[in-house]
Structure 1
């Protein structure tokens, strides 16, 4: 049984509030555009405006918060994959992270479209997260190359950029398979890897 101290419970509540606010921003902007009000966002998240302002300085910070949250999850996924011992230390770990990114970008597609964001849009808060994510992901990539599963000519940054361009949920798996085929060596079956990910997520 896990017993949370008051401070720990407060931190958990704060994290939950922040996630609720980010989701509210994403969903409301997708429908109403950037003109959505702070009050509407707070109401949708189930928090007061004072709580919202404890997490975000203003509208721009709120809008950027969706991308920052996405990269916070990416950093966590990379750190988890690099610190656990499991089968598929090579390309499967790399593709698992890419798959996660495509799931997030397709979920955020209407938000991205409403704001007119382009691939490569990097709010200030993303920098430190990318600085932590990139070397971990690069090492996972090298591991895949050393196992003969990832092409020597393929680059991890290109794979992430291409994954970020996948926005149509109905074509996500097809496009992910094409992406994997582009980075994988002939010994790897891209269809099988993507199919395994799909079945695991069901």
Structure 2
């Protein structure tokens, strides 16, 4: 990759910062022109650096994707499957509550069905690990036997509502505690 001029680097940084802020505040529905406007660059500058919205989404959520990966890997590596599962739910709920767009980006399919985005590739790698953690927690008798991976998606989508109500870590932790209490096998 060639080194960008200083002004081009600054424009790119402003675009990414604007995208991060708008995706966190409004979700993925925000338009590219709005991002360009917030970054104080022209649409041509934005599209020169990010030819597609997915390219911008991948860069804007790179930090959250790393955090998500760390959360899932650490939870799945925990020898106690319930503790690992609980950790994943707690930490993903907190991460999710701070950024309205990340879970939408993480759960979205690539529009043409081809795996092109970094986020999709990471999801395809992490979901089987999570499914294995769920099976281990169920086998240990800790997690409800009727729990499915779709239920985890439902929990994450419900947690997105925290952003509009009271996006605090304490509220996210409390939500996760309530959810986990309902998911524990009786």
Same fold, TM exceeding 0.5? yes
For these two proteins, the number of residue pairs brought into alignment is: 151
List, as ranges, runs of 4+ consecutive aligned residues in structure 1 with deviation greater than 6 Å. Answer: 18-21
Report the counterpart of residue 56 of structure 2 in structure 1.
62
Distance 2:106 2:125 in 1: 20
Match of 2:19 among 21, 25, 28: 25
SS in 2 for 1:127: helix
Match of 1:129 among 122, 126, 145: 122
Cα RMSD of the aligned pairs, angstroms, is: 3.8
- 1:98 matched to 2:89? The reply is yes
Partners of 2:72 and 2:130 within 8 A in 1: yes
Distance 2:134 2:148 in 1: 8
1:166-181 counterparts in 2 under 5 A? 166-167=159-160, 168=162, 169-170=167-168, 171-181=171-181
Unaligned stretches of 5+ residues in structure 1: 1-17, 43-48, 187-202
Report the counterpart of residue 36 of structure 2 in structure 1.
37
1:65-80 counterparts in 2 under 5 A? 65-66=59-60, 70-80=64-74
The alpha carbon displacement at 1:180 in A equals 0.8
The alpha carbon displacement at 1:24 in A equals 4.3
The alpha carbon displacement at 1:152 in A equals 1.0
- 1:151 matched to 2:133? The reply is no
Partners of 2:93 and 2:173 within 8 A in 1: no
Over 3 Å counting, the alpha-carbon distance change for 1:81 and 1:173 in structure 2 is: closer
The alpha carbon displacement at 1:64 in A equals 5.5
Report the counterpart of residue 133 of structure 2 in structure 1.
140
SS in 1 for 2:153: helix
Distance 2:14 2:36 in 1: 16
Unaligned stretches of 5+ residues in structure 2: 1-11, 111-115
TM-score, with length taken from structure 1: 0.57
